[in-house]
Structure 1
């Protein structure tokens, strides 16, 4: 049995940089603050329909309360990640023409952005899968899928109006699932299957979840303190307010920064390379990564 280690590599980060999969708000027209709808909840202090600019959005496309979002009831904004879709739509699809300049452009941009975000999210997961040595049997198919979606994201706005994203996600999910199965097979012991499970508030402190299938699981406010999540598949898992203090997340499959930002960890939470320790975890150094 191979030792379970981190699978996130410099090569994967380099590929994400090439594809532009990290949000660059300075080159975006604040599309997430306009295109998306907010529902008043613990994550958002007010209701906001899609297409209407947030009341906190300034004329320079910056947030008026960026440094105080959590304490003022907008924690949902702090964990949102467009995976670089914002700057792709702003600078590539619409050639740096803002929604503020033309009502027709505005309608198109606000329609394209949510679709582009889904495509960029798929690209992110594909780069994760390609970083898994155990998934080599499907690497060729993963690379073809990545190239096809990357090409899609660079086409004109009309391309997105007729795109069946649901069908596309289904095809890609087959590949991601196979990659996950191959990787998780290397975890010791019996791989638990909690796919889509309701684990809200579950007591899983110290649990051995190596190689577990946690896809789409509801782990809101679950206690995962000290749990071993190496090679666990957490794609789509809801980790809002989950306790990750002292948990081992090195090599966790398809984990995103947004999931970490929504959870509660500490200086003892073990992270793989490429992740940033959220400031609200109150770590002495919020950017420190465990290897």
Structure 2
């Protein structure tokens, strides 16, 4: 499943084409994705102008001028692409894919399920949602009170904002025996932080993934030194992944059709049996299963 940096990359790629554009037509090529689309979806969005494009955790929030929003989740294999109108007789342009990646861009039009026909400054464009596995979904909601929407009301702090701090983590971890890896994956603690970036952040902070989260908090409730380092590592790894365009494992693509390349920077994730890249460590990356998910770590420098 695309993680937060992938979704943020999609948001940034879509924003120039969508913000300020008028939705002339919403073309629904099937009545459902993972869940049924609202029965009046097309009627409620057609003729509305897109005010802004935001992200909350792994959700895209397409805010419309009438106070409602399209909520979109990419699921396992969902992706958006922007198709600019081409002059008559012009060859269709394809996005370029720099570097070497696991699976190339999907191009099967059978999986183009939702098409928004947009107009801005007299120019037409299409934003196409493609999803071979149909684990993604879309819904409509009122912008007012969106924080209390069932999708968002239990979410914790964003890993990209100032709300995520050592003091915040200390308050959430104090007295808990839950492994720190599981605590970080709890969306009620940090919204949108997924398995890849948790593994990478724990390695950067030198923390053993099975360590009880409460052990990172001092007796007086203040964050310990490693918790401070972990908070910094989370912010850094997410920022670097967004800058690189995400990880693009398996199906994820950016809106221009290219894949991100943060996977080439992984220190431990999916590197079982390889040398730990920390200078002077000499350890070998290991893998264990926690909560049904693979955890990659160095048993020498992560304690």
| Bigger fraction of residues in strand | 2
* Fold agreement, TM-score > 0.5: no
Q: Which has the larger radius of gyration?
A: 2
User: How would you bin the TM-score normalised by the shorter chain?
Assistant: under 0.3
Task: Please report the TM-score for the alignment, with normalisation by the length of structure 2.
Answer: 0.24
Task: Please report the TM-score for the alignment, with normalisation by the length of structure 1.
Answer: 0.25
Q: Which has the higher contact order (CA 8 A, sep 6+)?
A: 2
| Bigger fraction of residues in helix | 1
